[in-house]
Amino acid sequence: MHYKRILLKLSGEALMGEQQYGIDPARLQEYAEDIKEIVDQGVEVAIVIGGGNIFRGLKGVGQGMDRVQGDHMGMLATVINGLALQSALEAAGMETRLQSAIEINEVAEPFIRRRAIRHLEKGRVVIFGGGTGNPYFTTDSAAVLRAIEVKADVILKGTRVDGVYTADPEKDASATKFDRISFEEVLQRGLKVMDTTAFTLSQENNLPIVVFDMNTRGNLNRITSGENIGTVVDN
């Protein structure tokens, strides 16, 4: 096993599947099955889920809303996604816990680092909802923060694209993919892997990021088994 403890970052938008909004149950089930494959092999799995399929703070600002108010809505959206994911994972036969960065005790455990680590050691999938619990942050930052806190070996950032490219492959046909790239080179080339706050936190704490295509079945297992199918970003 290449990675023993991973933090999987899923964007909220990924949960929409082919829809324009909300949660696609079929997509959720596919993710659950892919996650089960690696849990069955003994990989310890923590997950941070985004909220962009429901609400983003900046969207609220665009509608004349106060930023902090919008960010609170975004954080709650991640808890909704976390509950949906938890349900799908349990239906697929995994033990799970949802921990929230904002107190919502009837719905999720509070985030308690030592307890989260204990759950992971027992083979439970731990979903972290509520982002960092602070406005003006993203769930990418939450993913890096939680990964460092629970001492994950790596962040696996599941996206629509299968890695980091020299340019946006959806716009530039001549773009080529990196198998590996350093944090420094990502910055020098002005490439976008995560927002700057999240990226710097990862770099400073020596936490590698693997960008990969989460929508191809079995990819998660390929990565935790050591296949280099995405792009590894490290120091």
Binding residues for UMP: 51, 71, 132-139
Binding-site residue numbers for ATP are: 9-12, 52, 56, 159, 165, 168
Distance, C-alpha 16 to centroid of its chain: 15
At 100, the amino acid letter reads: S
- Rounded to 10 degrees, what is the CA torsion of 183, 187, 188, 189? 100
Residue 100 has phi, psi (to 5 degrees) of -110, 145
Among 23, 47, 50, 203, binds ligand UDP (CB under 6 A): 50
The H or E element containing residue 147 is helix 139-149
Which of 11, 100, 219, 224 binds ligand UDP (CB under 6 A)? It is: 11
> Structure tokens of 85?
């994911």
Q: Based on the shown chain and the rule CB under 6 A, indicate whether residue 203 belongs to the binding site for ligand UDP.
A: no
Q: How far is the CB of 225 from ligand UDP (least distance, A)?
A: 26
Whether 207 and 6 have beta carbons less than 8 Å apart is answered as no
**Is the distance from CB of 194 to CB of 233 less than 8 angstroms?**
no
One of 51, 129, 158, 230 touching ligand UDP (CB under 6 A): 51
Closer by beta carbon to ligand UDP, 16 or else 182: 16
- Of residues 125 through 144, those in contact with ligand UDP by CB under 6 A are 131-132, 134-135, 137-139, 141-142
| Chain positions contacting ligand UDP, by CB under 6 A | 11-13, 50-52, 56-57, 70-71, 74-75, 77-78, 131-132, 134-135, 137-139, 141-142
